[in-house]
Structures are given as structure tokens and as C-alpha cells.
Amino acid sequence: MMFERHPYWGLVAWLLVVFAAAAVGGFASAQAADFYAGLIRPGWAPPAWLFAPVWTILYLLMGVAAWRVWRLRGFAGAGFALGLFIAQLLLNALWTWLFFKWRLGAMAFVEVLLLWTAIAATIVLFRRVSKGAAVLMLPYLAWVSLAAALTFATWQLNPALLG
């Protein structure tokens, strides 16, 4: 198989998977700038311009983490961990649709809590295979922790827009 002879093609594949999930979420937020700017946000909310570079870095770290686990154990030895990784990517993309496209604040908040749980569980499973992969996922967990608090606060401050 090509990936076995050239392991860096596996890295490319994992990065494609991660950025494909990012693109799915990106479709929902393509017109979100005006909506987000019009929301009442807590004073501690990061500036809007910060989200794109932070997410780009986080997606790169996630792709490398998944690749490390896949490289060491493959799907045969880490199928559940990699499956959970993919599930949390889907949850990640879904949040953007819930919040920005469908404007469902309560659902977005519940969903981000599920996402946080899935990320934490993925870190635990990744650590069993590669401590480095687990560490690469920690900034993502931290950012989603902030995102969960921001989702809740923004939903509470904008009940008419995020009902």
C-alpha cells in the first residue's frame, strides 16, 4: 500500500480529512461575519479576527495527532480512537451549523459540551498510543473550553437571535 511505503502520504490524508471537516463547518459560517458582529458578546470574547488563525493551527495539530496514532497502530490497533477522532470532527463541523446557520443557541451549547467530551475521550485514547498525539490535542480542548463558555454567554446575551 502506498501509505505504508510513504508514511507522509498518511499525514497528507489525515490533514485532508481534518480540513474537509473544517470546510463543512466553514460553509455554515461563510456569511457569519455580520451576524457575529451584531451579537452582544461578553467582554472577554476574543476578537473575531483571531478565530481563523487559531482554528487553522488547531486543525493542523489535530491532523498530526491523528496521523501519529494511525502511524503507530493503524486502524487495526487504534480503530476506536481514530473513529472517535472522526466523530469529534463531525461534531466540530456541526456546531458551526447549529450556531451560525440555524441560530440555535441552546442546541449549539449542548452540542459543544458533547464535542468537549468527545475531544477529552479522544485525548485519553490517543495517550494510550502516543503521548505526543495526546499533547497535540490539548490546545484544541482548551480552545473548545473557551468556545463552550462563549457559546453559553453569547446565547444568554442574545435570546432573540439565538433562540
Please report where in the chains the cell 442574545 appears, as a residue. Answer: 158
- What is the crossing angle of helices 105-129 and 48-96, to 10°? 90
Show the CA angle centred on residue 21, arms to residues 16 and 23, nearest 5°: 90
- For each of the domains in the chain, give its residue range(s) and CATH number, in order of start: 2-157 (1.20.1260.100)
| CA proximity to 88, closest of 61, 117, 66 | 117
Q: H helices of 30-130, where?
A: 32-38, 48-96, 105-129
pTM confidence score: 0.94
Alpha-carbon gap, residue 106 to 142, rounded angstroms: 21
Confidence (pLDDT) at 102: 96
pLDDT 10s digit of each residue in the chain, 163 long? Answer: 555 557 789 999 999 999 999 999 999 988 888 999 999 999 999 999 999 999 999 999 999 999 999 999 999 999 999 999 999 999 999 999 999 999 999 999 999 999 999 999 999 999 999 999 999 999 999 999 999 999 999 999 999 999 8
Confidence (pLDDT) at 154: 98
Alpha-carbon gap, residue 107 to 110, rounded angstroms: 5
